[in-house]
Structure 1
Amino acid sequence: MTAFREYQRLEASGLWRAKPGAQRLEVIVSIGDATLVISDMNDRPLTHWSLPALHRANPGDTPALYHPDGDPGETLELAENETEMVAAIEKLRSAIGRARPQPGRLRRLIMLGMFASVTALILFWLPGQLRRHAVTVVPDVKREEIGDLLVDAMRGITGPACDDPSGQAALARLALRLAGPNGPPRLLVLPDGVRDTVSLPGGIILISRALVEDYEDPDVLAGFIIAESLRSQKEDALNRMLLATGPLSTAHLLTTGDMPEGSLRDYAKDILSRPTANLDATLLLETFKSRSVRSSPYAYARDISGESTLSLIEADPFAGQSLEPVLDDGDWIRLQGICGQ
């Protein structure tokens, strides 16, 4: 150790006692290789003390009093004026203490590491596992109930769902016409607050009344419903809600069977203001083809210039073909009046 070499020429006088009751002798103290060398006045070594095993009996007091660890009967007293030697001994003892293996520190490091690992599991792994488990075990009837509660929580923003009976019948026929792998969606037309479409747990798709009233071609509305259904297939609506409301809401759902009311209210507001997620054009075109619906009316409704939706226009799977309409004229007229005047 560099510190040992630094003090090897340092000497000091002191009083050494070999054992309890023995006469104290005046000695010369020097620092050897990891040892404290105690010699008589003729420079003959009397004993060597290991610095790692050196103990100070009176820390901070003077004159400094040392003894070998475990043998307090053999002592060495350094006078008050031997400050340089005392400082050297203390520095070497401190350096040796830092270099010595410390099981307590290792245990603390291990415990901290375990605590960090457990914390990471709780914060990052467990919430995802809980959410995925909830998405798997929550039955369809509970999903539908959650969806209805969200619709109720939105009423202050959207108003009640449009309920003209003939319009609702036409809307139900449209849902059957556009049914996907999970069956027909449950369609609700809302008078306000919805940008175009929003999907909720329970297979619910909310529709802006503008999509019903502002277009002459029912294929526009059909296209928005197809796109929203595809988003629901890509990301489960319940999973999206639990991801937004957090692990405490997930735990509450799993333990009580219900979502916290506050979480439902907050999510109801949040989802209405979220931007609509973009979809891959190729996948969207495949879905239009499987539902026998033209993609170009939807594309022009999204962008009247057609620039940003050109792929949906040019690759329309039914361009120039005659198709069975998604709704006949009578049903389309009835659906356009679902919100009344």
Structure 2
Amino acid sequence: MTALNKYEKLECLGLWRESLQGKRREVIANLGATSLILSDQKSDVALSHWSLPAVRRLNPGQLPAVFGPSSDDTETLEIDDSDMIAALETVHAAISAARPHPGRLRNSVLGLVAVGVLAVGVFWLPDALVQHTASFVPASTRADIGQQALTDLTRITGQPCTGAGGTAALDKLSARLFGPDSAVGIVVIRSGLKQARSLPGRIVVLPEALIAEQDGPEAAAGFALAARVAAEQTDPMIAMLHHMGIPATFRLLTSGALPEGAMTGYAETLIANPPAPAADSALLPKFEAAGLATAPYATARDPSGDTTRLLIEADPFANVVPPALMPDGDWVALQDICTQ
């Protein structure tokens, strides 16, 4: 990104229009390493992000300068900041200089795709592209991708257990651990996994063995909570995008959708590469806030206690009885979730 070195952390005010019929809205335009981010001036909430290789000036030589994320003018940004204008035109010039046949590429959809792939190779390292894409995937898309990942996982694990009483108990457990509005979905599968895993879209997958082999729900609840804490520390979307590769990641970033078949084989990768457990220092306050003892989880994770000693010794409920996780009837129903 030599062309951008002198424009690092550049931002300015601009007037953004979302569509031809939309009203102009004052925004903050922030020039990042790979994209132009447009944020609400008051709330700082990101409203749109444009891939730098796709940004075009729609009125060359005129002021205020008008830019768009493509050659059409359905979405536009008006700016009069000379530094930002120079930065965006520098990027465009650098891309144009690297383009072997600009005329043919501009007139061909296939050529545009090739330019996009070239831009990825030139301006983004794989890790940077993955991190950037993961940070901009909206919640609704994450939920859809998480369901696709779960579908691929069921090739190996079989369909999730759906005993009616057990499913209701899982919903209550999720609300108890993460809050009634958390939208965290807990899914139980029969085989294939030894530990709980968190998928994009706030999905936690629990092996049936973590429930069937325990005397109470505390250990299974601990594994579910620990999986979510680990996901907060390391976004599971990142490992998934690495598996799918650069073309699929770029497609997701630019179109908001994955190419067909991008998820195929992810289940094998997920099973073969378990994530590192969340740090004890992160788990302890989360367990305490959820009213959940850490010792049952720690003992189930490592019966020897060698790797979970702090979780056992610093259990926030070692000398206090925490509130019950669920009624006995719900626990029995949860244990039978895969037999109904």
Q: TM-score range by the shorter chain?
A: 0.5 to 0.7
Q: Structure 1 200/124 Cα, relative in aligned 2: closer, same or farther at 3 Å?
A: farther
Q: Which moved more, 1:209-218 or 1:244-253?
A: 244-253
Distance in 1, matches of 2:300 and 2:331, equals 17
> Aligned residue for 1:160?
159
Query: Aligned partners of 1:180, 1:239: CA distance in 2, in Å?
Result: 25
The unaligned stretches of length 5 or more in structure 1 are 1-113
Instruction: Tell me how far apart the structure 2 counterparts of residues 156 and 243 of structure 1 sit (CA, whole Å).
Output: 21
Distance 1:229 1:187 in 2: 10
Do residues 254 (structure 1) and 253 (structure 2) align? yes
User: 1:171 deviation in Å?
Assistant: 0.3
CA distance in 1, matches of 2:230, 2:179: 12
Shift of 1:126: 4.5
| RMSD of aligned residue pairs (Cα, Å) | 2.7
Alpha-carbon spacing, 1:270–1:163, altered in 2? closer, same or farther (3 Å) = same
Identify the range of structure 1 (261-270 vs 163-172) with the bigger mean alpha-carbon deviation. Answer: 261-270
Superposed displacement of residue 301, structure 1? 0.4
Change in CA separation of 1:330 and 1:260 when aligned onto 2, cut-off 3 Å? same
Alignment pair present for 1:323 and 2:322: yes
The alignment status of 1:196 with 2:192, answered yes or no, reads no
Q: Deviations over 1:26-55 (max 9, x none)?
A: xxxxxxxxxxxxxxxxxxxxxxxxxxxxxx
**CA offset at residue 277 of structure 1?**
0.7
1:130 and 1:172 map into 2 onto residues whose CA distance is 35
Matched residue, 2:11: none
- What residue number does 2:280 align with? 281
* 1:75-154 pair list within 5 angstroms: 122=121, 125-154=124-153
Q: Please say if residues 175 and 181 of structure 2, whose CA atoms lie closer than 8 Å, have aligned partners that are also in contact.
A: no
1:264 equivalent to 2:238? Answer no
- Could you give the per-residue CA deviations for residues 202-237 of structure 1, whole angstroms, max 9, x where no partner exists? 101111000111101211011101110101101122
214 and 258 in structure 1: CA distance in 2 versus 1, 3 angstrom threshold: same
Deviations 1:185-207 (A, max 9, x none): 21100111111211111101111
- Tell me the distance in 2 between the aligned counterparts of 1:139 and 1:272: 26
Contact 1:198-1:272 at 8 Å conserved across structures: no
Cα separation, partners in 2 of 1:218 and 1:335, compared to 1, 3 Å:
same
Partner of 1:231: 230
Partner of 2:205: 206
Structure 2, unaligned runs of 5 or more: 1-96, 99-117
Q: 1:126 to 1:165 in 2, by over 3 A?
A: same
Give yes or no for contact 1:217–1:297 (8 Å, CA) kept in 2. no
* Aligned position for 1:308: 307
What's the CA shift for 1:337?
0.6
SS at match of 1:178: helix
Paired residue secondary structure (1:160): coil
Query: For residues 308 and 237 of structure 1, do their structure 2 counterparts lie closer, same or farther at Cα, with a shift above 3 Å needed?
Result: closer
Give aligned pairs, total.
227
Q: Tell me the CA shift for residue 339 of structure 1.
A: 0.4
CA spacing shift, 1:200–1:329, aligned 2, 3 Å: same
Percent of aligned positions that are identical: 37
Q: Which amino acid aligns with 2:184?
A: P
Displacement of 1:184: 4.3
What's the secondary structure of 1:202's corresponding residue? coil
Report the alpha carbon displacement of residue 321 of structure 1 after superposing the two structures with TM: 1.0
Residue 250 to residue 281, structure 1, CA distance change in 2 (3 Å): same
Letter paired with 1:230: V
Residue number in structure 2 paired with 1:41? none
Measured in 2, the distance between the counterparts of 1:265 and 1:168 equals 27
Alpha-carbon distance between aligned partners in 2 of 1:233 and 1:182, rounded to the nearest angstrom = 17
Q: What are the superposed Cα offsets for residues 262-298 of structure 1, whole Å, 9 maximum, x if unpaired?
A: 3301222211221241322122112111111000001
| SS of equivalent to 1:262 | coil
Larger radius of gyration: 1
- Measure, in 2, the Cα distance between the counterparts of 1:266 and 1:260: 14
CA–CA distance in 1 between the matches of 2:320 and 2:139? Answer: 38
What CA distance in whole angstroms lies between the structure 2 residues aligned with 1:121 and 1:263? Answer: 18
CA offsets 1:141-165 (integer angstroms, 9 cap, x no match): 2111111111111222010000011
Question: Is 2:291 the partner of 1:297?
Answer: no
Q: CA distance change for structure 1 residues 291 and 247 in 2, over 3 Å: closer, same or farther?
A: same
